[in-house]
Amino acid sequence: MSPELIQIETDVLVIGSGAAGMYAAIEAARRGKRVLLADRSLIGRGGATVMAQMTVAVALGSETPDDPEHHLRDTLNAGRGLCDRELSALLCEEGPECIREMEDWGVGWARKNGRITQAKAPGHDRPRCVYVDFLNTGPAVSKTLRTVVNKTNGVRRAGDLCIIDLLKHDGAVVGAAALHLSTGTPVQIAAKVTIVATGGLTRLYERNSASSNMGGDGYALALRAGASLIDMEFVQFFPIGHLAPRLIGMDPIMWDPFRYKLGGRLLNNRMEDFTDKYGVREDGKYMITRDAGSYAILKEVEAGRGSPHGGVYLSFQHRSELDLRQAFGPVINRLAANGIDLTKMPIEVAPIAHYHMGGIRVDRHMQTDVPGLLAAGEAVGGANGANRLSGNAITEALVFGRQAGRTAAEQVSRGETLDRADNAGTIIDMMRSDGANHGVNTAQLIQRLQATMQRHAGALRDETGLKTALREIDEMESQLGPSPLGSTAAFDMLRLDWFDLRNMLLVARVVAQTALRRTESRGAQRREDFKDTAPEWNVNQLVAMTDGRLAIANAAAAREAAVA
Ligand SMILES: Cc1cc2nc3c(=O)[nH]c(=O)nc-3n(C[C@H](O)[C@H](O)[C@H](O)COP(=O)(O)OP(=O)(O)OC[C@H]3O[C@@H](n4cnc5c(N)ncnc54)[C@H](O)[C@@H]3O)c2cc1C
């Protein structure tokens, strides 16, 4: 028997409860609007925000004089000519206000001599990154926002609610259809304004720093609803993801805070510093940006100068045990429990998919091309261009979340709720259908997609590889089939995997197609067959979908190329 349909009505639907979604919900609710904050996981615990460890970039100038103009200049430089200047400026100008508001809410930014202290990170021209402590900044940000959400009248929270598609009427988004995971019940949500704050896509890659909720749902939802995506080829690989020896119970990107505090040396298998060969002299300091670092490491490995597990070495052996303990105290004991003594051995590191510069195209009010649909946080593309600076992502989530909440509140005051949608019947019927099980192993398909993307659409790319990736995606799509597998039972993983793969395959295709079309290297896009940056590619690529067909256009030249 098909489960009953649950129907909910709200002013603002916020999809995703990371920093962006929670800030958006708080902002819209304190402007008097009714908000439904929905997440496929537990509220405030499902995405990147709660996993982030370290720093938040903001021109506070609390220790060293600074100005949002300086932050903007560094952000635009890092973006290699492709930043949406308005979005970057918003991030830099409103960052300080959000950081102060977070402080008023009790986040507890670290202080020295009474002043909020700021660290210097690669690509920033001065110390600009605030933190709580170097391993717990994300959890503190998340906890602070969760507490404020809980205290804010007007925010209803719904965990375990996976949004499957956006609902539309007369060209506008009027809510969403969702699957309540723990009961298998379909849910129809009518909303005057919907905000997509679903985070990034790094689950598409085999080696990633993400949670399993980061398969790019928001990009697929927005695309199917008629919104454009921008800069989708620019996936950020974090250069020094942990590789070996085996490390249990610690985050793969934990070496970043070590490099912030202690410098560290990147070494090839001849125990030589090598970054200067790629244009960055580190001299034991942390100087190299993420795009340049990933490239340098992969090229050393390709030249046969890699470490045994296929990365390079990161060494802190020149630092004393006292230095290490003063900087990281109990973390040193946790490393010892894993058999790692940093005074005696280097560890092996290699690039790992970490963040997405691309995303949903919005204006400075976070409005997409589709009425009734806003986006915020990592789901948005454009603010960081072809490469993001450390610390800019949490600032982006806070600032864009707040802005989306503001815009939503204004739009709600003008709009009306529609409980009818042109596509609701089709989507709800699809969710209620009893699917076949053709013997397709969806978990294996997810692994195959991740391996394909890692190998052929990862940090180093070329035409042959990208075309292979696209062929594999075609094959996987036909194996998956057009209608959901599994049943409508509670926690049917086959069904959830089917819905996840439907999004992941679409988003992977967009990444591979835009990467193939950009015949140059710039920022995070490194083409082995087009090694130089080409001035004619100083344009963003926009992706839209009509009747299931993708179209890619250059934003500046507006040249359109239809692709299958
Ligand atoms: C390990 C790690 C460390 C990092 N460290 C830093 C750092 O030190 N500094 C920095 O600036 N940045 C850092 N980043 C990046 C930064 O954390 C993120 O870019 C930022 O937190 C994104 O916030 P968000 O609110 O946009 O998305 P997220 O925090 O990722 O939240 C998205 C939410 O959407 C939900 N969701 C997804 N799909 C659906 C759906 N279909 N239906 C319902 N809900 C859905 C997810 O469950 C999740 O809760 C780090 C990232 C990682 C992974």
What is the distance in A from the centroid of ligand 1 to the CA of 201? 10
What is the distance in A from the centroid of ligand 1 to the CA of 18? 6
State the virtual CA torsion across 350, 18, 112, 266 in degrees, nearest 10.
0
**Closest Cα to atom 5, ligand 1: which residue?**
52
Residue 392 CA: nearest ligand 1 atom is 11
Q: What's the CA gap between 283 and 94, in Å, rounded?
A: 35
Which pLDDT score, from 0 to 100, does residue 439 have?
Answer: 84
**Closest Cα to atom 12, ligand 1: which residue?**
393
Which pLDDT score, from 0 to 100, does residue 558 have?
Answer: 40
Do residues 193 and 372 make contact, with C-beta atoms less than 8 angstroms apart?
yes
Q: What's the CA gap between 232 and 217, in Å, rounded?
A: 14
Do residues 441 and 486 make contact, with C-beta atoms less than 8 angstroms apart?
no
Find the largest Cα–Cα distance for the chain: 67
Instruction: Please report which helix (H) or strand (E) contains residue 75, including its range.
Output: helix 68-78
Given the residues 265, 290, 461, 527, the one annotated as active site: 290
Do residues 75 and 91 make contact, with C-beta atoms less than 8 angstroms apart?
yes
Residue 221 CA: nearest ligand 1 atom is 41
Backbone angles phi, psi at 192, to 5 degrees: -75, -35
Residue 214 CA: nearest ligand 1 atom is 37
Instruction: For the chain, give the mean pLDDT.
Output: 93
Which of 14, 39, 181, 495 most suits a substitution to test ligand 1, by most atoms within 8 Å of the C-beta?
A: 39
**Closest Cα to atom 21, ligand 1: which residue?**
49
Which pLDDT score, from 0 to 100, does residue 438 have?
Answer: 76
What is the distance in A from the centroid of ligand 1 to the CA of 429? 31
pLDDT tens-place string over residues 279-316: 888 888 888 888 889 999 999 999 999 999 999 999 99
Residue 54 CA: nearest ligand 1 atom is 8
**Closest Cα to atom 19, ligand 1: which residue?**
393
Residue 400 CA: nearest ligand 1 atom is 26
290 is catalytic: yes
Which pLDDT score, from 0 to 100, does residue 560 have?
Answer: 40
What is the distance in A from the centroid of ligand 1 to the CA of 52? 8
What is the distance in A from the centroid of ligand 1 to the CA of 363? 21
β-bridge pairing 185-196 and 6-15 = parallel
What is the distance in A from the centroid of ligand 1 to the CA of 58? 18
Residue 211 CA: nearest ligand 1 atom is 53
**Closest Cα to atom 8, ligand 1: which residue?**
54
Per-residue pLDDT of the chain (564 residues; tens, 9 = 90+): 567 899 999 999 999 999 999 999 999 999 999 999 999 999 999 999 999 878 899 999 999 999 999 999 999 999 999 999 999 999 999 999 999 999 999 999 999 999 999 988 889 999 999 999 867 899 999 999 999 999 999 999 999 999 999 999 999 999 999 999 999 999 999 999 999 999 999 999 999 998 889 999 999 999 999 999 999 999 999 999 999 998 887 788 889 888 988 889 999 999 999 999 998 888 888 888 888 899 999 999 999 999 999 999 999 999 999 999 988 888 888 899 889 999 999 999 999 999 999 999 999 999 999 999 999 999 999 999 999 999 999 999 999 999 999 999 999 987 766 667 889 999 999 999 887 777 899 999 999 999 999 999 999 999 999 999 999 999 999 999 999 999 888 889 999 999 999 999 999 999 999 999 999 999 999 999 999 999 999 999 999 999 999 999 998 644 344 443
What is the distance in A from the centroid of ligand 1 to the CA of 560? 32
Which pLDDT score, from 0 to 100, does residue 374 have?
Answer: 98
Residues contacting ligand 1 via CB (< 6 Å): 15-21, 38-41, 46-49, 51-56, 137-138, 162-163, 197-199, 209-210, 213-214, 217, 251, 253, 355, 377-379, 391-394, 397
**Closest Cα to atom 35, ligand 1: which residue?**
16
Which of 378, 398, 501 most suits a substitution to test ligand 1, by most atoms within 8 Å of the C-beta?
A: 378
Do residues 263 and 315 make contact, with C-beta atoms less than 8 angstroms apart?
no
Residue 131 CA: nearest ligand 1 atom is 8
**Closest Cα to atom 48, ligand 1: which residue?**
47
What is the distance in A from the centroid of ligand 1 to the CA of 271? 36
Which pLDDT score, from 0 to 100, does residue 417 have?
Answer: 64
The label of the residue with tokens 């399993």 reads: 212
The DSSP secondary structure of 477-537, one letter per residue, reads HHHH-SS--S-SSTT-HHHHHHHHHHHHHHHHHHHHHHHHH--S-BTTB-BSSS-S--GGG
